[in-house]
Structure 1
């Protein structure tokens, strides 16, 4: 027996035949034939075929014919596929000839077909979604792009260039952007609800619920009163004159109180007429109508002690001009003086005309009974019918009203400029909650500002609820305001208060009144709007409906737009982003374990509100009727309707004083294209108005939704941990909850952000540049950096989302999902803006210009550069050491 360990010879050395005659194993092997191949073929052909051979030949012929047919069909189908995906691929032609010899007949079949040149095998191509929603979305994305731009150097224009060319700024607007377009779409939906041909939902509600009937009656009454331009023009400035006259009479009249039981005016016993009482009464009246003057009053949680206990905040007021810088520019202050002068003159002329008319026909006097919307509420409805007590002209010498108005306008501007100088810079007001939290006893405030009677002021709004402690946003402002008032003539203060009312309320008059035109001219200058250009009246009226009865309008808007899985899918984007943020905390080198644990707890404690509020409950018309019970609406008194609503808002605000926070309360109505993070409440709020294209749709693929709406979600989430939000703990209380080392690490990166954005600028339209205030915009820029959390949230959920069929491709878009994520992010910031308006925003808005909200953010996002394969050295692919990497 041979040894099995001996190596077997290689096959090319074997000489024994592989097959032998097994019946004769010992027979000698057959020797190879010397016949040629042609001789063997000729011999086989000449041999007669057996019946079996004939059958096999026929079957072989049939098989070859069928194979030829199938090969031809396959080649044609492949050619069509190649043509669908682009140009037909090169092919080679192969000719197959079949010859079959049979005794009785000889048949030859020739088939010609095309075979694609072999190519590497890859993943089967995904078919794009072709639903109407997908086609619409794909078309919108394609239309917004400008593919001539380099995404690695100019991504804002790459993603939005097409959109910007298609959306020119209307002559009556200062800008147009993705936000404003959606705002207009939302308002058109409200307009449809309010039209006589109401939507199916509002019609159904009107027919089945008396509370819906009441709501729709108020909404339509307010809208119709606004649209009645003939009546507004006929009334002229009379409604405004009556408010201004009330202010003047209060400022110059005796101290009065309201008898709650009779709602009549009375003298305060034992109180003599003095300057303080008149100033207090006039300011209280303006504040009760939502008109700012001298200082700002607000009711919010005591963030230093108990964020859920609502208390009184005393702060600096808004000014006639939007920012301090404007008071240093003669062109602007000159125009502002002119507007004030025009207002003072027209108010006097209208008042004189009205007085003469009333004297001739007393029956024409229209009283303000509609403003007394809640008799038990102690608003100061002083009649002020004791004449015009100017106080500046005791003799009978004629007064040159034009000259006097000119002098008063100059003094008002000077007065406001002093208030502006005494006010905090916006960087402190918006960016330092510790510096603006200064609790003091009420007696401290009254001592610092003795010209104002605070007990009388509080009794106007909240009797028996005087706050023992008040919060000052500035410790120096009350004393500075006191000094300014002491050094200012009473006539100037009176004129200031009168023009505050006029500036706030003149837009509610007819567009042909002098007061309306005067106020509009200031807006045209500050925002670069074409002089005299007036937009659609319906758009303005819907804006008023939204601002005055917004929760009621929101009920029907939500029913129309926020159905299906919108709430669930929108909430999932937010909660996924929160989860991604908590996961990213583990990798932050500048945050230590103690601070990381606290940050995780705060993220877990966030309250997420999506779509619509529960207080008032937009699902319950009775709740909304109760919320707006004080708003009296009449179709012939638009101006008074607006005042009535503003009174209602102030009553609701002051009713919170000394109470616990309503955790279901919202600061925005459902139709708003906005979102916010509220630090004292530690809540994220996203109205239904923003959960619409180009931000969100329940029918979109996830990479689009997370790129667009995820940007909004991550921005608001990041606010909880930005320059301001990081100073509030998980309960909304101002507290040091980060360690010193973590705080220092944060500040280093914050400084990087400040310096980065301070290098950006906008053109002022006059050949100059205005640079971004890096300190003012720091918190918002840090918020924008949160886009990386939305990206990580999408990536973390990709597998699950793909299995659920939510990562489908869109037709015609030759971009990866990662690229489309960032494109959808950039598209929400599309904006065309006039230079004057851009300058105004830089001076007054804590947000950076939209271009830098895109490119400044992506500069600090390495994932973007990777998605677009940006080369080293590209503007949006800097070295990591130059990036400001927070998360």
Structure 2
């Protein structure tokens, strides 16, 4: 996990998978094919109704789809991504401060405006009761916005931690410092924390996972292609400049930069690839503390666990044993001075935003190379994101009061219930799955927990001390508090009320160990969810997301967990093999997509998200049919904006995935993101769906229609 996170990207907690739905895309070249006009008939996409076609109501203007965004010069059957949003893509260039731009960003701007108002009111209230959420939110944000104070303080408030690292002079004192680094959230060497035991979901376990890299992916250290070399060169420059800011002359700074890269390269060589990390069984290696200490003697596990109040643990779960063997070797073989340099770098780079402006400027220069972003986001946006990540449930309560109505929550719950019914029917009528596997699948679906809007139980921040004295002190205090809150779970009952996202987050996730889907209030607003829009639009938009998250429980990873969230194979051998065979078709399809010259989507890395898109859209389409039947019966379906409900369903799905993205960011997404680029999330599922062909009258031979023998079908 990189240190920089954004409001809209799904997170991954140690040992707890949160499978989300962040999107990114690049617009392909527009076709010159002429698009047929939309009609009420689902069998053709030609012109208006004829005498042989039942009469339909006159078309009305709808909510949720702006027909001006369509590129009608492109046939929907040739390139639905361009047809559905080509004009929008042309008229919405990427702002200088962003690496990509789409509907999620526009919603993000609206949400940020409201959150900024809440934060600035809190910051202006200097008489808030000490210890209250209002005081903590206001002081945290105000301290972060005081850039003059940050520049004046320099490294003053970081000196105690730098001194601790500098004082390390033995392996034992190094082990003590490694334990402290975990509490500070620096990311040094590895990640360790408490989450449900994936084979016994009624208990918490201590999990250790690979980490410790300063660049976004191991491949940047190991590959010699031009792009990897470019990022590596920028990283060395970033390191060198930062050490110079800390007072080192150029030669010493360059030497320290080389030491960090050399050490991190060793970690990268021992790290599993992102595709390998998708195997939950391979990442589950339970061993006693004594066994782990024997395998990784130099990490000092007994010291680590005792210092971080996990001394009662008899067992730990190690994600990647080979990686931890290498960490143990590094701690013994590498010069202690180089290890201390690495720890210093991990600490300083993790808190760059809380240091003088020169430090965050260097961080941004490196990010520019990765993402192509032209300018840094203004400080209030960065501090808003930091406050949300740190105290999100404190001011999230104020946010939901202003932005999320009980009626919206009820409507969302009804949609989820309808989609769950549709999923159950797809399981029951599945032609390749045996009855025993169907029974287990239905059991899992029925046990699925649904969380909408905001937590039923809010976080208690009473033990966290926040003041206006120093933003850096606030950041470090919050990290230590958060780590203590995490480790306190060990030995207690599973907290199923906990949320992995804040209320204002514009995203959603599925957690396999918890078997739950979670939709924050931030996501449940236009254009993703609009109570004033017709059902076709809402089912194509937020409904598509609901189906996506629900079917994550049955994708290539999620299907390996049972109804209680335990990692257990509940499939018959034949059914498991058939699923794998069908999923492989999807993998091959996406691996053939190329958004840039010589750059192809990784069908294995994106497998879970692609399956969730495809399966989710299929079951939501069926749920919409029931909804339309309930609403209109045998009456003709209305035309809205000149489109049938089915056409609006697919347009709504596509318009939320329209997005412009810089080539640099797209290359990084292909390497590191389990989500396919947006244009392929748009067209990939539709190219397999006869329902889409019927809605727009697509014929064999057109680009949006896969040959029958090449189509994927799972549910």
TM-score by length of 2: 0.88
Alpha-carbon contact 2:60-2:642 (below 8 Å) kept: no
1:414-433 equivalent positions in 2, closer than 5 A: 414-429=262-277, 431-433=278-280
C-alpha distance in structure 1 between counterparts of 2:643 and 2:212, whole Å = 47
Residue 671 in structure 1 maps to residue 504 in structure 2: yes
Alpha-carbon contact 1:615-1:666 (below 8 Å) kept: no
C-alpha distance in structure 1 between counterparts of 2:642 and 2:422, whole Å = 28
Equivalent residue number for residue 794 of structure 1: 624
Please give the secondary structure, in 2, of the residue aligned with 1:312.
Answer: strand
Alpha-carbon contact 2:122-2:138 (below 8 Å) kept: no
Deviations 1:730-766 (A, max 9, x none): 1111111111111111011111111111111232xxx
Equivalent residue number for residue 409 of structure 1: 257
> Alpha carbons of 1:407 and 1:527: their partners in 2 closer, same or farther (altered >3 Å)?
same
C-alpha distance in structure 2 between counterparts of 1:509 and 1:706, whole Å = 45
Displacement after TM superposition at 1:802 (Å): 4.4
Displacement after TM superposition at 1:642 (Å): 1.7
Displacement after TM superposition at 1:651 (Å): 1.1
Equivalent residue number for residue 770 of structure 1: 599
Equivalent residue number for residue 310 of structure 1: 204
Please give the secondary structure, in 1, of the residue aligned with 2:298.
Answer: coil
Deviations 1:248-269 (A, max 9, x none): 23x23xxxxxxxxxxxxxxxxx
C-alpha distance in structure 1 between counterparts of 2:106 and 2:471, whole Å = 27
> Which stretch has the larger CA shift, 216-225 or 120-129?
120-129
Displacement after TM superposition at 1:502 (Å): 1.3
Equivalent residue number for residue 680 of structure 2: 852
C-alpha distance in structure 2 between counterparts of 1:756 and 1:298, whole Å = 37
C-alpha distance in structure 1 between counterparts of 2:638 and 2:345, whole Å = 58
Deviations 1:328-367 (A, max 9, x none): 3333222211211222222236xxxxxxxxxxxxxxxxxx
> Alpha carbons of 1:320 and 1:121: their partners in 2 closer, same or farther (altered >3 Å)?
closer
Equivalent residue number for residue 780 of structure 1: 609
Equivalent residue number for residue 226 of structure 1: 144
Equivalent residue number for residue 192 of structure 2: 297
Moved over 4 A (4+): 118-122, 210-213, 807-810
Alpha-carbon contact 1:707-1:821 (below 8 Å) kept: yes
Displacement after TM superposition at 1:696 (Å): 0.2
Equivalent residue number for residue 161 of structure 1: 86
Please give the secondary structure, in 2, of the residue aligned with 1:424.
Answer: coil
C-alpha distance in structure 1 between counterparts of 2:77 and 2:212, whole Å = 41
Residue 462 in structure 1 maps to residue 309 in structure 2: yes
Equivalent residue number for residue 708 of structure 1: 541
Displacement after TM superposition at 1:232 (Å): 2.2
Displacement after TM superposition at 1:697 (Å): 1.6
Residue 870 in structure 1 maps to residue 714 in structure 2: no
Displacement after TM superposition at 1:163 (Å): 2.0
Equivalent residue number for residue 490 of structure 2: 657
Structure 2 unaligned segments of length 5 or more: list them: 1-49
Please give the secondary structure, in 2, of the residue aligned with 1:301.
Answer: strand
C-alpha distance in structure 2 between counterparts of 1:879 and 1:688, whole Å = 41
Please give the secondary structure, in 1, of the residue aligned with 2:207.
Answer: strand
C-alpha distance in structure 2 between counterparts of 1:425 and 1:579, whole Å = 37
Equivalent residue number for residue 269 of structure 1: none
**Bigger Rg, which one:** 1
Equivalent residue number for residue 67 of structure 1: none
C-alpha distance in structure 2 between counterparts of 1:212 and 1:680, whole Å = 38
Displacement after TM superposition at 1:245 (Å): 3.0
C-alpha distance in structure 2 between counterparts of 1:302 and 1:420, whole Å = 27
C-alpha distance in structure 1 between counterparts of 2:688 and 2:312, whole Å = 50
> Which stretch has the larger CA shift, 711-720 or 176-185?
176-185
State which of 430, 437, 442 in structure 1 corresponds to 2:289.
442
C-alpha distance in structure 2 between counterparts of 1:504 and 1:144, whole Å = 41
Equivalent residue number for residue 185 of structure 1: 110
C-alpha distance in structure 2 between counterparts of 1:509 and 1:537, whole Å = 13
1:365-384 equivalent positions in 2, closer than 5 A: none
C-alpha distance in structure 1 between counterparts of 2:627 and 2:114, whole Å = 34
C-alpha distance in structure 2 between counterparts of 1:438 and 1:756, whole Å = 33
C-alpha distance in structure 1 between counterparts of 2:53 and 2:362, whole Å = 72
Deviations 1:93-112 (A, max 9, x none): xxxxxxxxxxxxxxxxxxxx
Please give the secondary structure, in 1, of the residue aligned with 2:529.
Answer: coil
Residue 491 in structure 1 maps to residue 337 in structure 2: yes
Deviations 1:273-299 (A, max 9, x none): xx2222222222221112111111121
Equivalent residue number for residue 236 of structure 1: 154
Deviations 1:470-526 (A, max 9, x none): 111123222222223333111111111100011111122242x2x222222111111
Alpha-carbon contact 1:164-1:831 (below 8 Å) kept: yes
Residue 345 in structure 1 maps to residue 263 in structure 2: no
Displacement after TM superposition at 1:238 (Å): 3.3
State which of 182, 188, 213 in structure 2 corresponds to 1:319.
213
State which of 672, 692, 710 in structure 1 corresponds to 2:525.
692
Please give the secondary structure, in 2, of the residue aligned with 1:181.
Answer: helix
C-alpha distance in structure 2 between counterparts of 1:436 and 1:197, whole Å = 43
Equivalent residue number for residue 300 of structure 2: 453
TM-score by length of 1: 0.71
C-alpha distance in structure 1 between counterparts of 2:673 and 2:121, whole Å = 39
> Alpha carbons of 1:808 and 1:569: their partners in 2 closer, same or farther (altered >3 Å)?
farther
> Alpha carbons of 1:345 and 1:820: their partners in 2 closer, same or farther (altered >3 Å)?
same
Equivalent residue number for residue 347 of structure 2: 501
Please give the secondary structure, in 1, of the residue aligned with 2:78.
Answer: coil
| Aligned residue-pair number | 659
State which of 575, 600, 609 in structure 2 corresponds to 1:742.
575
> Alpha carbons of 1:211 and 1:703: their partners in 2 closer, same or farther (altered >3 Å)?
farther
RCO greater where, 1 or 2, for CA within 8 Å and sep 6 or more? 2
C-alpha distance in structure 2 between counterparts of 1:519 and 1:165, whole Å = 31
C-alpha distance in structure 1 between counterparts of 2:95 and 2:319, whole Å = 39
RMSD (Å), alpha carbons? 2.5
